[in-house]
Structure 1
């Protein structure tokens, strides 16, 4: 990888280890954590008890990793909670509040079809990394974390609407709530999707950021067959500005069917946003006017609703890849091994089109139709990602085009993106 930034993978004996992934992978100003299962690190087994006990163990494991790299839980900027049963969320929140007592990160909560090892809960974290990863040269020192809420979007007692650090802003997943009533809007999935995006736009407007500064969107759908209706609404919001329309800019995107969403919502939308101004004390010349670089290649499947990779500052955000042969536009023949291989080939083609390589991966997210297929996928995975980036695996009862597997990823972008000249 070009430039001076390095991918820094670390592990501690105080949290569960795996030869498939690192507990945390730092690059530039962020630490990307692998999703933590409720495993006792001493035994490698799921802890006794229900969702509350399992959530506590997940968060203990995260805290152990956080402290092992000389950070604190107040350095967490985003938490993602995957549950088997959405009704367990209130019990999980009781534990959650004991780990975040003075500050609340951005947050996403979804119920999924299955989790590895039949767990009831899995928790993932994204942390700041103020010192950066340029060897022997502090990049910016103790950067400030910015948090913001606006009454023009729904307020949640368990999360902050948007948390900015360095050159990225992380928005809590938005439900289709009317901010005046805090209730789900009237109508079906189209109306709900529009409200989710309105809430995201309101949050961004409150910090003077346009919606076209979004680099990655994750759409969580209760019923995947609703995607056409969501897409119709989606194109009303993206692209938004004249400049974005001129180039046809669409953020990177992942669409996942979930088992359930909070408040019985039909859709929930999460966004990651570029933050060109950075957070102090970054020098003005290091932070103003950075360019969002969007790229696609014919060597991987294209989608009119997303860009294959969107780079901003020191990260490349990859759209979720299905096991589609780019030459035919169809799912490859074979089972989950062949499909996983095609997903990884597509990611490889995308990252190579921007002069990077698979070793630059900092995080890989795998969505499986059958969680029992994980061992088979792992065999193929190891041939593409021997460096063991951070990882998340969840089960989804349905994937687009009837696929058995879908994969998205985050890569380092050592050279960064240039400022506007």
Structure 2
């Protein structure tokens, strides 16, 4: 593997520090920021107050991290907001809009069963544009392209799609009819279809298609709906299936049954990148016998990133759940990720971001103790949430975003 491009892992004293993650990990043209809780960085305690106070603290922490890397809030490409109560959305929106001057980034909002600290009402993670790249890439005045189409639902609190360099990031799509602004009639099949049709419409508006998607995160109100959703997804991805993670939501906006988040390859890049130089970048979807069989690709690489599908604690030889407690299950999840990375000539220290779902948030310390043993250098950025259920009644599920220094052809 070509290890020329350097991963930049950084912390600042102006935001809460965590022994099991790095605040921000930049690689190539993106920064990945760990999910921020409403902690006062001076005391390490949850701020006293209501949801608005907590949202403000989360965003203030993100702002401090961003400014410590010589960036500003308007460099944010995407935010994911995890709430204890979905009814707090309006309060979040009110505070959130004050942190951005020129435009609103793409966004996902979801209620989860639990957050890492009991008194936290909200947790927010961010993805940041990094025009200067990481060494030895030369700084480049890349342009961010924020766009909306009338053929998909338009939100007053987010942009449908924001492209930067070789990725498009699409706001999570609810099963809303773009013409009426209402949820579509029907059950999970109809709602999943509408979400994917909205994504398709957004992609077509920027001259892309569903085969350009590299990763989907599917938020389900009922985890038992996963098979029905997989069947719908198969009709939208008949030949190639992106990496995928499934998250059990405690609640979704508008009381929807499903919401789908996507990361999209953007081979044409953003100016001043030249379309004739980049439009032929190849999506490399890979699977290995050393990880459990899945209804999606194990890993999808595009340009300078790999996206690893959510891994359950399954024995790859039997595809059965491993026996044991959460430590045993977390170890298996991480071993599966390690095997997937090894199959594409990468290692765990190439990981820039991990997302961990726990059925019992009280297991966080046990999982962290195992998790840290899989890395030899700086720890990745991280997000941890508690959920009511995980597929196959697992106790933990983990996915990862990985640096890909060698890039995908025809880049050198």
TM-score higher than 0.5: yes
- SS at structure 1 position matched to 2:35: coil
1:384 to 374, 379, 384: 374
Give the corresponding residue for 2:36. 36
**TM-superposition CA deviations, 1:84-118 (whole Å, max 9, x none):** 00001111111001112321100000000000012
Give the corresponding residue for 2:25. 25
**Equivalent residues in 2 for 1:142-181 (5 A)?**
142-181=141-180
**Equivalent residues in 2 for 1:47-62 (5 A)?**
47-62=47-62
- SS at structure 1 position matched to 2:344: coil
2:293 to 277, 299, 302: 302
Give the corresponding residue for 2:131. 130
Per the TM alignment, residue 297 of structure 1 is displaced from its structure 2 partner at its CA by 0.4
Per the TM alignment, residue 320 of structure 1 is displaced from its structure 2 partner at its CA by 0.1
Query: Residue 74 of structure 2 contacts residue 101 of structure 2 at CA under 8 Å; is this kept in 1?
Result: no
Q: TM (normalized to structure 1)? A: 0.96
Unaligned runs of 5+ in 2: none
1:279 aligns with 2:275: no
Query: Residue 291 of structure 1 contacts residue 420 of structure 1 at CA under 8 Å; is this kept in 2?
Result: no
Per the TM alignment, residue 324 of structure 1 is displaced from its structure 2 partner at its CA by 0.2
Q: TM (normalized to structure 2)? A: 0.98
- SS at structure 2 position matched to 1:81: strand
**Equivalent residues in 2 for 1:385-404 (5 A)?**
385-386=375-376, 387-404=378-395
Query: Residue 170 of structure 1 contacts residue 271 of structure 1 at CA under 8 Å; is this kept in 2?
Result: yes
Per the TM alignment, residue 285 of structure 1 is displaced from its structure 2 partner at its CA by 5.7
2:316 to 323, 326, 350: 326
Give the corresponding residue for 1:242. none
Query: Residue 115 of structure 1 contacts residue 122 of structure 1 at CA under 8 Å; is this kept in 2?
Result: yes
Per the TM alignment, residue 286 of structure 1 is displaced from its structure 2 partner at its CA by 4.3
- Which stretches of structure 1, 4 residues or longer, exceed 4 Å deviation after superposition? none
Distance 1:356 1:403 in 2: 26
Query: Residue 289 of structure 1 contacts residue 420 of structure 1 at CA under 8 Å; is this kept in 2?
Result: no
1:355 aligns with 2:345: yes
Distance 2:143 2:373 in 1: 39
2:284 to 251, 274, 293: 293
Distance 1:39 1:169 in 2: 31
Distance 2:368 2:77 in 1: 29
Distance 2:18 2:386 in 1: 19
Per the TM alignment, residue 385 of structure 1 is displaced from its structure 2 partner at its CA by 2.5
Per the TM alignment, residue 420 of structure 1 is displaced from its structure 2 partner at its CA by 9.4
Unaligned runs of 5+ in 1: 240-244
How big is the alpha-carbon RMSD for the aligned residues of Structure 1 and Structure 2?
Answer: 1.2
Distance 1:230 1:121 in 2: 28
Which deviates more, 2-11 or 117-126? 2-11
Distance 1:342 1:3 in 2: 27
Give the corresponding residue for 2:360. 370
Query: Residue 288 of structure 1 contacts residue 419 of structure 1 at CA under 8 Å; is this kept in 2?
Result: no
